[in-house]
A and B are shown apart, each in its own frame.
Chain A
Amino acid sequence: MASKVLHAIYRDDDLLLQAVKQIREARYHIGEIYCPFPVHGLDKAMGLAPTRLAITSFLYGLVGLSVAVAMMNFIMIEDWPQDIGGKPSFSFIENMPAFVPIMFELTVFFAAHLMVITFYMRSKLWPFKKAENPDVRTTDDLFLMEVDAANHNIDDLTDFLYKTGASEIKLIE
């Protein structure tokens, strides 16, 4: 698929947000936007679906809690119910207050770490990954928008992008 994209560069995040709105109104397709910092409201303007990371985190937390409960129930109550300083090891509930700190920590541990790993995997981040930056200046002070030019007239699209305030436009094949 010989797809063509236009790289439009903006100098200001307000301009970028405005441009995103105009381009979406004109029904052009935005591929990616590269920013040096988070632009508040950009995801809403682009119409991106909200993240579900928080939900995964909640589920991971439940996993962590189950691990903690199962582990301590087996070790302290079932496998070797020793009398340690008079703590009641007859059933899980009787000795539960002593387990709560561990249950809490493991819940947080699982929720946090597994969510971070999920984030890395979903956003394809890892060491030695090749950077996908189309223009080095976007990490410093420029905003770059990638617009799909597939079925559109390139000249019209370029004109349109200039009108939205782009300072540079490049055609990438």
Chain B
Amino acid sequence: MIVGAVGLIYGFIAAPETVEDVKEMMASEHHGEEHGEEINVEQLPGENVTVENIEGYESETAHGDEAHAEAGHGEEAGHGDEHYEHILHQLQNKPWAALYVAAFFFFMISLGVLAFYAIQYAAQAGWSPVLFRVMEAITAYLVPGGIIVFVLLVLSGLHLNHLFVWMDPEVVAHDEIIQNKTAYLNVPFFLIRAAIYLGGWMLFRQLLRKNSIKMDSATDNKIFKKNFKLSAGFLVFFIVTESMMSWDWIMSLDPHWFSTLFGWFVFASLFVSGITTIAIISIYLKSRGYLEFVNDSHIHDLAKFMFGISIFWTYLWFSQFMLIWYSNIPEEVVYFIQRIEDYQLPFFGMLITNFLFPVLLLMNSDYKRVNWFVIMTGIVILCGHYLNVYVMVMPATVGESWFIGIPEISAVLLFGGLFTFIVFNALTKAPLLVKGNPFIKESKHYHY
């Protein structure tokens, strides 16, 4: 955590502050190369303008590729300084985006676990109650993590960074497409929405946890029934707010782009990372002798979920990619053109870590019971889903100036440390085996 914090501060200091700094940096680095690529990317949508010539299209395509362009790129003459300014914004965004990606990644893990937990309640699963305390502990990160994400959003709203282009009034003034979306994309409403999602999730989390602790000393099933209803209510609330959250916090980074299955795509990502985290922490606690009743069959079930939801994620990833690739409509496809040209390795590498690895490693029923196998695959999946968030956020914020360097790694370390601290601290707050759950006996003897 400390290493991460130090690294992040370095990242903020290292971010260039003026256009001159960028010029210096670029001169010392591979200037020609990046410059060349830049032009390439810009010209792609530019060609469409001449062909289609639609009113209002101009602004879109000028900004479409690099959501960050403050001024139009159309004229070649004024290109020089604008280009550097553009890069400057990207580099200034870099530590912010690194922070945002990591904060969101760990937050989404605990959110995914909460969704999984609620599903276990609502489905009256007989295998999982022995893992409830682990899940509850992971969701303990929801509150601080959510507050951190909210603070980051507020900071964006206060124009301390340029993560969200549509928050910049100058950009909006020149951009008819964003202007048409301001009824939804405006800072006060955005923050109110975020507060509603976060408040709702935290409220449900606290109630579920409180009831679960109360259930330990309960004599009847009243509290269980209450939790059952709460979970069902949460799931309804969750699926609506999660979907809107993904539009707000991630899709609006590219305000010119939209995709209808995006909410599900983000959901699959957070769900599988959440389940993977449950598995990893359970195996760790089990190996330390803290989880007496967790056996191979529980791990097997978690591994099955990791396997299945990984495939579900891939299905959604591919459905989103293929539909857009196939129809190749310019205003949609720039999203992927930018990712494929600038982010080739993470964009396709993600498929290997999030699909190929889990499919091949967790297909065998015996392997799902081998703890180190599940751990290794789990780490690969978590890395893959970090990359997934990275590829969703970075192209819109730092564009082609991306690199997984000190700010990115330190942000992960910082939030990883915070996450571990809070989760394991929460684990000490309650006995690791729930009592009074009507399914606990079945769960203890669960065998697959």
Contacts and interface: CB of A to CB of B under 8 A. Distances in A.
Interface in B340-365: 363, 365
Contacts of A58: 363
A13 B328 CA distance: 61
Interface in A92-132: 97-98, 100
B326 A100 contact: no
Q: Which 4 A-B pairs have the closest CB atoms?
A: A97-B322, A97-B325, A98-B326, A100-B318
Contacts of A98: 322, 326
A54 B326 contact: no
A100 B363 contact: no
B321 interface: yes
A86 B363 contact: no
A86 B328 contact: yes
Nearest to A54: B365
Contacts of A100: 318, 322
A50 B322 CA distance: 40
Do most interface residues of chain A lie in helix, strand or loop, or is the interface mixed?
helix
Interface string B308-336: 00000000001001100110100000000
Contacts of A86: 328
Interface residues of A, number: 6
Interface in A71-87: 86
Do most interface residues of chain B lie in helix, strand or loop, or is the interface mixed?
helix
Contacts of B321: 97
Interface in A5-59: 54, 58
Given A86-B328, A100-B318, 7 more contacts: A54-B365, A97-B321, A97-B325, A97-B326, A98-B322, A98-B326, A100-B322
12 contacts: A54-B365, A58-B363, A86-B328, A97-B318, A97-B321, A97-B322, A97-B325, A97-B326, A98-B322, A98-B326, A100-B318, A100-B322
A98 B328 CA distance: 12
B13 to A, nearest CB: 43
A54 B326 CA distance: 35
A97 B322 CA distance: 6
Interface in B348-395: 363, 365
A97 B365 CA distance: 30
A98 B326 CA distance: 7
A97 B328 CA distance: 12
A54 B365 CA distance: 10
A97 B326 CA distance: 8
Nearest to B318: A100
Nearest to A101: B322
A54 B322 CA distance: 30
B404 to A, nearest CB: 25
A76 to B, nearest CB: 14
Contacts of B318: 97, 100
A54 B321 CA distance: 31
Contacts of B322: 97-98, 100
Contacts of B325: 97
Nearest to B363: A58
Nearest to B315: A104
A62 to B, nearest CB: 11
Contacts of B328: 86
B189 to A, nearest CB: 37
Nearest to B324: A97
A58 B359 CA distance: 12
